[in-house]
Amino acid sequence: MEDLDLKVSRRTLLKTAATLPVSLSFAPGRASAAGPAQRFGAGIIGTVHSHAEGHIQAIRQSANYQFIAAAEPNPELLAKAKQNPAWNGVTWVSVEQLLADQRIQVVCIETDPLDSLPYALRSIQAGKHTKIDKPPGTDLKALQNIYAEAEQRHLLVQMGYVFRYNPAFRLALQAVREEWLGPVRSIVCQMNDTLDAEQRKRLDSYPGGQMYEICGHMIDMLVLLFGEPQRVSSVLRHTGTVDDKLEDDVLGLFEFDPAVAVIKSHARDGERYFYIFGQDGSLQINAPDNPSIRLVSSKARGKYVGDGREVALGKPERYLPDLDDLAQGIREKRKLEYFTPEHDLKVQRTLLRASGVDV
């Protein structure tokens, strides 16, 4: 029985690898120094998402985009954004005006996650390529309809998980594809965050609390590396001293074949890591927002000698590589590499299951 399990696991990994491009570059498609590429007009709907300010900064930095306008449908949030230096110089318009603006080809949805899907659908119906920041609501059928509508209109949808272009996870993908660690047996992840009172109040309305809000980043990488899990179970608890019902201490168990992954998250500190253990070695990603790698392997893998010494990779960029790759996909009239609609829907099903939502 053990031999059968190993064969199934290896076949699953090879099948997954066969659907991926040969290159592991994750290279952003920035405008060439030899001459300017087409720039796409970009707009933002919503300002409350924690990634909203990062996206407007990335759009302004990118040679692939020209920022046109933003819309904030909530008057209170609009007034707050107008006082925030991050939004200085923004042309504020209504959602209807933004979606009708023919200069805008790409729209980022930066509303509260629970409000994002209706705006994303309207963006697609208006003929805009659309980035939906994480996690994309809780209505799986609505998300499926968005992808179907985008496919029909030849538009791209990109999801806003932050580790997709991270060099540490790029290396993890290579290690799994090339079987550096042998058959993978277990994955242990921590994805913590510290929350102020306003953040806790917002998250308190989310199914699964911390699981829904932040663990999707790790789930996104699990699905990339190992596919959709066969079984998902979770423990969703409130253990903090704050008088609310937020699930601020959570654990998810994800069963693959034969590997088992655990993701833990609580709101008491910001510790984060992603550890992969195989029969022949291990790969540890520490502090993925500023990652270092520890590889234990019987063979050297380039500069990673396999003796467990820590190698710093440097602080990766967020948002900009994603948006630049989106621009390149639009130019080349192709789906986004690695992160297809099928992948995104697997991630969303897994996240909702872990958050206690029936799908």
CATH assignment at residue 72: 3.40.50.720
- At residue 281, the pLDDT reads 95
Same domain as 204, residue 128: no
Given pLDDT bands bounded at 50, 70 and 90, which one contains residue 301? confident
CATH number at residue 311: 3.30.360.10
Same domain as 217, residue 110: no
Mean pLDDT of all residues in 74-101:
98
Q: Are 35 and 208 in contact (CB under 8 A)?
A: no
Which domain-ending residue is among 133, 160, 187? Answer: 160
Which of 194-198, 210-214, 244-248 has the weakest average pLDDT? 194-198
pLDDT at residue 32 tops 50: no
Which amino acid type is present at position 177?
A: R
Tell me, yes or no, whether 176 lies in a domain. yes
Which domain-ending residue is among 316, 331, 350? Answer: 316
pLDDT at residue 321 tops 70: yes
What are the tens digits of pLDDT across the range 112-150?
A: 999 999 999 999 999 999 999 999 999 999 999 999 999
Tell me, yes or no, whether 151 lies in a domain. yes
Which amino acid type is present at position 170?
A: R
Same domain as 176, residue 139: no
Tell me, yes or no, whether 307 lies in a domain. yes
Mean pLDDT of all residues in 170-189:
95
Same domain as 312, residue 172: yes
pLDDT at residue 299 tops 50: yes
Tell me, yes or no, whether 99 lies in a domain. yes
User: Helices 116-125 and 140-152 sit at what angle, rounded to 10 degrees?
Assistant: 10
Same domain as 147, residue 65: yes
pLDDT at residue 29 tops 50: no
Closest CA to 155 of 133, 130, 136, 134: 130
Q: Are 134 and 124 in contact (CB under 8 A)?
A: no
Same domain as 236, residue 172: yes
Same domain as 121, residue 143: yes
The fraction of the chain above a pLDDT of 70, given in percent, is 90
Which domain-ending residue is among 316, 332, 347? Answer: 316
Tell me, yes or no, whether 322 lies in a domain. no
Same domain as 172, residue 56: no
Q: Are 57 and 85 in contact (CB under 8 A)?
A: no
Tell me, yes or no, whether 27 lies in a domain. no
- Helix, strand or coil, per DSSP, at residue 14: helix
Same domain as 134, residue 173: no
Q: How many domains does the chain have?
A: 2
pLDDT at residue 21 tops 70: no
Tell me, yes or no, whether 23 lies in a domain. no
Same domain as 76, residue 187: no
Mean pLDDT of all residues in 143-162:
98
- At residue 274, the pLDDT reads 98
Same domain as 274, residue 209: yes
**Sequence-distant (≥ 6) Cβ neighbours of residue 323 within 8 angstroms:** 55, 58, 59, 62, 64, 65, 106, 131
Distance CA 83, CA 77 (A): 10
Same domain as 218, residue 259: yes
Query: 146: domain range?
Result: 40-160
Tell me, yes or no, whether 260 lies in a domain. yes
